[in-house]
Amino acid sequence: MKAQDGNMRFEAPLYTVAEAARFLGVPTSTLTTWAKGYVRRPPGRREVRGAPIITSVDAPRNLPVIPFIGLAEGMVLAAFRRAGVSLQHIREAVGILTREIGIEHALASRSLYTDGAVILFDYADTEHEGELAGLTEVVRRQRVFAPVVREYLKRIEYATDGWAVRLTSPATERHIVVADPTRAFGQPIFIHGASRVEDVLDRWKAGDPLAEVAEDFGVPFEDVEDVLRVALPVAA
């Protein structure tokens, strides 16, 4: 099964690596590895290469490279990372899910939400993979994702075509900021007030009092405060 050809969610680069990292609450270096892959040259050993594991496009430095669907894929990887899974096992999990679900962009698919836990649970049980086993659990005899992963997946909304269409940023505990490709050209906006996060923070950076900025944009003061706490790049 293929994603819809020509769908802008899959093709249009909307976010730089740094912007996507801030939205997801992960280090920029981590997001770079997910989007661009890596090359490591340990002294006296063979070169090691890792392929990208989220959707991105080629673009000049500091220009957007990640489409909306890549951001959705990154949301799932951020959940796996939060659950304590290493990059090596994250790559393994992505390979398993892509193969078993059998569609492109499996991480951004509703099928991950409905079938992913069973797939990973069965694999971890068979292969005795300790880290992957930590992604799932059994609740009332049902195989489900672990709580931290479920919390992230609840922040993904899916369209009728089965792929992600709206994301709520996991960078803040409360649901404050969303990314929706049909609004503000996909740029993160506040749920309450619908203003672009960048516009609000730019006013504050220009020296305007925070309370005044929040009032002018119609955004709750506490929402702006919470976003400011995570607005700077996450440390590597």
- Tens digits of pLDDT across the chain (236 residues): 455 544 789 999 999 999 999 999 999 999 999 999 877 777 777 777 788 999 999 888 789 999 999 999 999 999 999 988 888 888 888 888 888 888 889 999 999 988 888 888 777 666 555 667 778 877 776 788 889 999 999 999 999 999 999 999 999 999 999 999 999 999 999 999 999 999 999 999 999 999 999 999 999 999 999 999 887 544 33
**Structural domain containing residue 145:** 8-230
Residue 98 lies in a domain: yes
C-alpha–C-alpha distance, residues 37 and 52, integer Å: 4
Residue 149 lies in a domain: yes
Residue 218 lies in a domain: yes
* Of 94, 145, 139, 93, nearest in space to 117 by CA: 145
Residue 3 lies in a domain: no
- Torsional class of 84: left (φ above 0), alpha (ψ -120 to 50), beta (otherwise): left
Q: Report whether 52 contacts 70 (CB < 8 A).
A: no
C-alpha–C-alpha distance, residues 159 and 161, integer Å: 5
* Number of domains composing the chain: 1
Residue 111 lies in a domain: yes
Residue 199 lies in a domain: yes
Question: Is the pTM of the predicted complex or chain greater than 0.75?
Answer: yes
